[in-house]
Amino acid sequence: MLADADRLKKAAKEIRKQSLIMTHDAGSGHPGGSLSCAEILSALFFYKMKYNPKDPKWPDRDRIVMSKGHASPALYAALSEAGFFPKEELKTYRQLNSRLQGHASIYTPSIDICTGSLGQGLSVGNGIAMAGKLDSKSYNVYVIMGDGELQEGQVWEAAKSAAHYKLDNIIAIVDRNGLQQNGPTEKLMRIEPLAEKFHAFGWHTIEVDGHNISELVNGLDLATSIKGKPKVVIAKTIKGKGVSFMENVSSWHGKAPNDDQLKQALSEVEAN
Ligand SMILES: Cc1ncc(C[n+]2csc(CCOP(=O)(O)OP(=O)(O)O)c2C)c(N)n1
């Protein structure tokens, strides 16, 4: 499939805008980590993944595990853009009884796992990938993790077992924005050398600029072409990407923009 770069850029822009609106309207949520993974989600939903919004649980669909579940606004924006539910429903984000909870959950069409407790998504992804092999399905499982999340020991247990079981239908994507909740990952608990670590655990590693559509698309294509081992795409990103006052500022983690900030943020995203 040929990637339509303009379409993917437009979708990433829409993911950013909706993430900002959702967190503003809810008065809470995680804009920084949502903005950093906009291109990753755009490349997955509008280039790489196979799915059918009319049949959200289609057994042959590619699976997405949003392990960094706090970035749910970006996931919901991508799902609505892909046609799983009307854009109107995004207004219910973080409301009681909404299908769009603060952290990604099974109430949302097509989503198989509640995430938010960091570090668990890769283990679940392994299980889904193993089930795919046992059922002779050809789907891939895409697990999106934060870099701060990689400090969880469970991630490395899962990395070990994915390689042991040769789960080549699993593709982990690390949103390597360098920041976690309270500051830089490398200051709080160093994770470098990251590619070497995954390599040592038996993974094929690919490093890309996570805001560059063609690098992402090529990286994902390379990932699915390699057989016999799990693959990780380490996507170098900027937390808060697209909004000047949010970029690389860790306090825009669990914090919503106010009216004026939303206005400025939307105009900056639009202008980009
Ligand atoms: C097990 C667990 N511990 C702590 C938290 C609280 N928490 C939510 S987001 C976050 C920071 C995550 O950083 P990172 O994975 O780098 O995400 P990003 O910066 O991309 O948003 C933390 C500590 C959590 N959700 N789960």
For residue 137, the CA-to-ligand 1 centroid distance in Å is 32
Which ligand 1 atom lies nearest to the CA of residue 103?
25
Q: Which of 118, 123, 211, 241 to mutate to test the pocket of ligand 1 (most atoms within 8 A of CB)?
A: 118
DSSP 10-68: HHHHHHHHHHHHHHHHHT-S-HHHHHTTHHHHHHIIIII----TTSTT-TTSPEEEESS
16-59 pLDDT tens trace: 999 999 999 999 999 999 999 999 999 999 999 999 999 999 99
Q: Ligand 1: residues within 6 Å at CB?
A: 30, 33, 36, 68, 70-71, 116-119, 146-149, 175, 177, 179-181, 239
For residue 118, the CA-to-ligand 1 centroid distance in Å is 6
For residue 7, the CA-to-ligand 1 centroid distance in Å is 30
pLDDT at res. 272: 86
pLDDT at res. 3: 72
CA-closest residue to ligand 1 atom 16: 148
CB 115 within 8 A of CB 74: no
> Can you read off the two tokens belonging to residue 220?
């994902």
Q: What is the helix (H) or strand (E) element at residue 175, kind and residue range?
A: strand 170-176
Q: What is the mean pLDDT of each run of 10 residues along the chain (272 residues)?
A: 86 98 98 98 98 98 98 98 98 97 97 97 98 98 98 98 98 98 96 98 98 98 98 98 97 96 98 91
Distance CA 144, CA 237 (A): 13
pLDDT at res. 1: 58
For residue 182, the CA-to-ligand 1 centroid distance in Å is 9
Which ligand 1 atom lies nearest to the CA of residue 116?
25
H-only helix segments in the chain: 5-26, 31-35, 38-43, 72-81, 121-134, 153-164, 185-188, 194-200, 213-225, 259-271
5-271: CATH class: alpha beta
For residue 149, the CA-to-ligand 1 centroid distance in Å is 6
For residue 146, the CA-to-ligand 1 centroid distance in Å is 7
